Amino acid sequence: MEFLMTIDFWTGLLLIVGIDLILAGDNAIVIALAARRVPEKQQKKAILWGTIGAVGIRALATLIVVWLLKVPGLHFIGGLLLIWIAYKLLVDDKDHKDIKAENSLIGAVRTIIIADALMGLDNVLAVAGAAHGSYLLVVLGLIISVPMIMGSSAIFLKLINRYSWIIYAGSAILAFTAGKMLMSEPLIDQFFNDLPIIKWGLIIIMIVAVLLLGKRTNDKVKRYRQTA
């Protein structure tokens, strides 16, 4: 149990919980849209069972991705994908028009599970990258974050809409995770093994670049909307 006392273990766990909470806004939207037409007495059941089913599929997918990331080269590809996801988190304006509200409990649960599975790539990839091959971290992260997501995702979604810096903080977390994934690719890791300053410098540059590009894009969109 000595690994429980390491900084890497607790850093990884905090990253996973943070990623789950930052990306919980979409979960709140999916759940609300899918369950809004269900009779009020059944809405809590739809939310509960839909969330349990979605989390189960996401946990399985994450464990599979953790295993896949052990294949040489996939860490690097996963890191590049996660950088793109970190950028898109800042600039995407998701309206979720394709999520259909259901009248029945079973229909709402099915919609929540399917929609979450289709939209969960960012979460799965980010958590798998932060876990660094540890299945225990994935499981513990879910155990800690799922109750928090179920109880506070709607509140957290309101905070995200009100305070834009939270989105930038989430994007920075994803970019940091992406940087660590890229640098943990065996060939790259060996190159920077004796140059930790350069390694962390590059990770910081990635984070700053993602945030600046995202802000620049958002500013352009804002100016366009003001002149349109």
pLDDT at residue 205 greater than cutoff 70: yes
What is the C-alpha to C-alpha distance for residues 107 and 36, in angstroms, rounded to an integer?
12
| Total H helices, total E strands in the chain | 10, 0
- Please report which confidence band the pLDDT of residue 157 belongs to, taking 50, 70 and 90 as the band edges: low
pLDDT at residue 4 greater than cutoff 90: no
Specify the pLDDT at position 26.
Answer: 61
* pLDDT average, residue stretch 208-227: 86
* pLDDT average, residue stretch 36-42: 73
What is the C-alpha to C-alpha distance for residues 115 and 34, in angstroms, rounded to an integer?
9
Q: Which of 159, 174, 168 is nearest to 127 (CA)?
A: 174
Specify the pLDDT at position 151.
Answer: 60
Q: Where are the domains of the chain?
A: 2-223
Question: Which pTM does this prediction carry?
Answer: 0.71
pLDDT at residue 121 greater than cutoff 60: yes
* pLDDT average, residue stretch 24-28: 62
The string of pLDDT tens digits covering residues 12-24 is 778 887 777 766 6
A 10 A CB-CB count for 227 gives 6
Greatest Cα pair distance in the chain: 62
In order of 40, 100, 127, 197, 222, the CA distances from 22 in angstroms are 28, 24, 12, 28, 23
pLDDT at residue 84 greater than cutoff 60: yes
Which phi and psi angles does 134 have, rounded to 5°?
Answer: -95, 115
Most confident range (mean pLDDT) of 23-27, 50-54, 170-174 is 170-174
pLDDT at residue 208 greater than cutoff 80: yes
Specify the pLDDT at position 210.
Answer: 92
Kindly state the tokens that stand for 73. Answer: 């080269």
DSSP assignment string, 115-142: HHHHHTHHHHHHHHHHHTT-HHHHHHHH
In order of 5, 63, 138, 175, 192, the CA distances from 126 in angstroms are 23, 12, 11, 9, 23
Specify the pLDDT at position 209.
Answer: 94
The string of pLDDT tens digits covering residues 172-197 is 888 888 888 888 777 777 777 777 78
CA 163 and chain centroid, separation: 18
Lowest mean pLDDT among 46-60, 106-120, 146-160: 146-160
